[in-house]
């Protein structure tokens, strides 16, 4: 059972999960049964979510960037029947916020790409902050209403609107469309035009796909249950915020954001999250 594993084994398993290794590969490397690894991962993910909820409070952020990243549970939306969707199968979107200066991720929310999830996400974000901030997002319609609900007039909010050409099928199925134009729009308050950007959050999306196995594209590593997906995202952000030293900052995002005074070890993350 995962709850009687030696700490050394837990550290090996959690470290490998956080770095994007698959459960079966961790089983081969450590000798821990895959079911035990799964249970440990779920417990850690849920614990990391609780840690972030309690510790990411009173942040003094100036510039925040918001975005959402796509994943799926069991099967993609186009293949999911109504019964499948009722079971939680289909598309799963993770809304994420990042501080442009400290690179800390104060909160996230897993759900559908709709107003309900966006509203809950932004309300959580507002609870993390103690001062007026500037927020940047893409042109997803749900953001404007969500930010109004979460912050009211006490925010500076701008959108970056990107237009793309029609994809050229002759270039291949996975070739990106050509960027045609980029515009910046003011919505609330008086945002600094130079700071309206989603570059850091888009880079965070890449970090998620590299460190969270269930978001790796074009593989069979997708989640089969929503519970497992949420736990994997929780573990990722617990590891990212408190343990992983940022290459540019030379400290963890949580340290840069004033949340913790030191770099956490994997063992400390396990002790706090379990």
Following CA atoms 166, 172, 173, 176 in sequence, which dihedral angle do they give, to the nearest 10 degrees?
Answer: -50
Phi, psi of 188 (to 5 degrees): -135, 140
| Span 6-25, pLDDT tens digits | 999 999 999 999 999 999 99
The CA-to-CA distance between both ends of the chain, in Å, stands at 14
CA distance linking residue 65 with residue 68, whole number of Å: 11
Summarised one tens digit per residue, pLDDT across range 115-149 is 999 999 999 999 999 999 999 999 999 999 999 99
Instruction: Mention every residue, 6+ apart, whose C-beta is less than 8 A from residue 141.
Output: none
Taking 70 as the pLDDT cut, the residues of the chain under it are 1-3, 167-176
Domain 2-273 grouped into CATH 3.30.420.10: yes
H/E stretch holding 71: strand 63-73
| pTM beyond 0.75, yes or no | yes
| Every domain of the chain and the residues it spans | 2-273
């Amino acid at each position: 059972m995962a709850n009687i594993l030696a700490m050394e084994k837990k550290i090996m398993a959690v470290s490998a999960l956080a770095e994007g290794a698959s459960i079966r590969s961790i089983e081969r490397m450590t000798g821990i049964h895959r079911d035990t690894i799964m249970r440990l991962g779920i417990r850690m993910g849920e614990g990391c979510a609780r840690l972030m909820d309690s510790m990411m409070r009173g942040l003094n952020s100036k510039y925040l960037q918001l975005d959402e990243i796509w994943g799926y549970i069991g099967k993609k939306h186009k293949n999911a029947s109504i019964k499948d969707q009722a079971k939680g199968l289909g598309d799963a979107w993770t809304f994420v916020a990042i501080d442009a200066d400290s690179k800390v991720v104060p909160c996230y929310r897993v759900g559908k790409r709709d107003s309900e999830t966006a509203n809950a996400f932004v309300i959580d974000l507002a609870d993390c902050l103690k001062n007026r901030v500037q927020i940047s997002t893409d042109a997803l319609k749900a953001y404007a209403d969500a930010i109004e609900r979460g912050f009211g007039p006490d925010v500076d909010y701008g959108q970056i609107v990107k237009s793309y050409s029609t994809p050229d099928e002759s270039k291949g199925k996975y070739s990106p469309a050509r960027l045609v134009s980029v515009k910046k729009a003011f919505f609330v308050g008086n945002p600094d035009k130079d700071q309206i950007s989603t570059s850091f959050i888009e880079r965070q999306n890449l970090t998620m796909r590299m460190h969270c196995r269930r978001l790796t594209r074009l593989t069979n590593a997708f989640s089969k249950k929503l519970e497992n997906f949420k736990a994997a995202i929780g573990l990722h952000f617990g590891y990212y915020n408190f343990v992983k030293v940022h290459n540019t900052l030379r400290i963890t995002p949580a340290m840069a954001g004033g949340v913790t005074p030191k770099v956490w070890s994997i063992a400390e993350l396990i002790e706090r999250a379990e």
